Amino acid sequence: MHSGAEHVEGVPPEWARCVRCGYAIVGLRPDGVCPECGLGILASWPQWELRECHGAYIRHLFDELGALHGVASIVGLAALVGVGTTVLSVTVSGDPRMYVLAGGIASACILSGIALGQLFQLIKHLYKHANSNWTYGSSLRRCMKLGVIVIGVGEVVAFVLGLLAFVYASQVGSAVILIGAVLVFAGLGLIHLNGMLYAAFTLERAGDTRRRSTLTDLSWLLPFVGLIGFPFTVFGVLDWWWIAAVGLLGVAIAAATLARRCTCARGVLRSLMESLSH
C-alpha cells in the first residue's frame, strides 16, 4: 500500500478521497493513480483547467449540468402551465372556467412534484463526487442545495399548512400560502443565480471566453417580479390573478435562460471529452 507521503505543491489535502474506492489520496502526485483501484488522481482531485483534468471528472460535471438543465426545463414548463391556467381562468367564464382551473391546477401540481423529484436528483449529482465539498465550485453547490431545502419548506408551508389554515380561516390561510410562495420563489431564485454562475464558471474552466450578457446574468431576479406586485393586490389596486401570471412568466423565462446556459456548457464539455478521448 502506498504511504501517501509524496508531498508536492498542489497535491490533495488530508480529507481527499478516491471517487471510485474511497482510498485516502492525500499527498499523492496529481499525475499519479490511486494505489487501490488505479483511477487517475485527477479524477478525484481536479485541477482548475479542465483540459488537464481526468475524463471521469469532466463527465461528472457534464452530468451535474444535465441534472440542472432537467430542473430548469420542468420548472419552466410548470410555470408556463400556471401562466396559461391563470390567463384562461380570467378570460373564460361559466362551466369551462372550472374545467380550466381543475386541469391547470392538476397539471401544475403534477409538474411541481416532478420538479421536486428533479431537485433532489440535482442534489444527488452535486454531491456524487467524493470531494465535492472542497473542489472547485463547492460554495455554489452548497447554495443550490440550500435553494432546494428552501423550496421544500415553502411547498410544505403553502400546500400543507396553508391549505389547512385556509379551511378554518381564509385570511390566515391566504397569508400562510403567500409565505410559502415567497419561500418557493426565493429558493428558485437561489438555485437559478448559483446555477447560472456554476455553468459560467464551468465554461471559464473549459477555456470558453465568449462574452455573456449582463442581462442574462441578472435573469435570476425574474422569479421575484410577481412578488413585487403582491402588496398591490392586498389593497385591491391590482388583480392577483395577473400578478401571479407575471410572476410565473418570470420564472419560466428565468428557467429558459438557465437551461440555455447549461446546454451551452454541456456542449463545450462534450467537445472537450471528445478531444481528450482521441
Q: What are phi and psi of 133, to 5 degrees?
A: -75, -10
pLDDT tens for 222-276 read 777 766 766 666 566 666 667 777 888 888 999 999 999 999 999 999 999 998 7
- Residue 262 has a pLDDT of 94
Does residue 218 sit within a domain? yes
Burial of 101 (0-12, 13-18, 19+ CB in 10 A): middle
How far apart (Å, rounded) are the C-alpha atoms in residues 99 and 134? Answer: 51
- Please count the residues of the chain: 278
Are residues 136 and 27 part of one domain? no
- Residue 214 has a pLDDT of 67
Burial of 8 (0-12, 13-18, 19+ CB in 10 A): exposed
Are residues 19 and 144 part of one domain? no
Are residues 69 and 32 part of one domain? no
Are residues 40 and 68 part of one domain? no
pTM tops 0.75: yes
Residues of the chain scoring pLDDT < 50: 1-9
Does residue 162 sit within a domain? yes
How far apart (Å, rounded) are the C-alpha atoms in residues 18 and 147? Answer: 28
54 touches 43 (CB < 8 A): yes
How far apart (Å, rounded) are the C-alpha atoms in residues 54 and 108? Answer: 41
DSSP bridge partners of 32: none
Are residues 3 and 94 part of one domain? no
Does residue 57 sit within a domain? no
Are residues 156 and 25 part of one domain? no
Are residues 73 and 7 part of one domain? no
- Residue 35 has a pLDDT of 92
Burial of 38 (0-12, 13-18, 19+ CB in 10 A): exposed
Burial of 16 (0-12, 13-18, 19+ CB in 10 A): buried
Radius of gyration of the chain (CA): 23
Does residue 53 sit within a domain? no
Q: Domains in the chain: how many in total? A: 2
How far apart (Å, rounded) are the C-alpha atoms in residues 132 and 127? Answer: 6
Domain of residue 38, residue span:
1-45
Does residue 54 sit within a domain? no
Are residues 123 and 14 part of one domain? no
Are residues 29 and 88 part of one domain? no
Q: What is the 3-state secondary structure (H, E, C) of the chain?
A: CCCCCCCCCCCCCCCCECCCCCCECCCCCCCCECCCCCCEHHHHCCCCCHHHCCHHHHHHHHHHHHHHHHHHHHHHHHHHHHHHHHHHHHHCCCHHHHHHHHHHHHHHHHHHHHHHHHHHHHHHHHCCCCCCCCCCCHHHHHHHHHHHHHHHHHHHHHHHHHHHHHHHCHHHHHHHHHHHHHHHHHHHHHHHHHHHHHHHHHHHHCCCCCCCCHHHHHHHHHHHHHHHHHHHHHCCCCCHHHHHHHHHHHHHHHHHHHHHHHHHHHHHHHHHHHHHHC
Does residue 55 sit within a domain? no
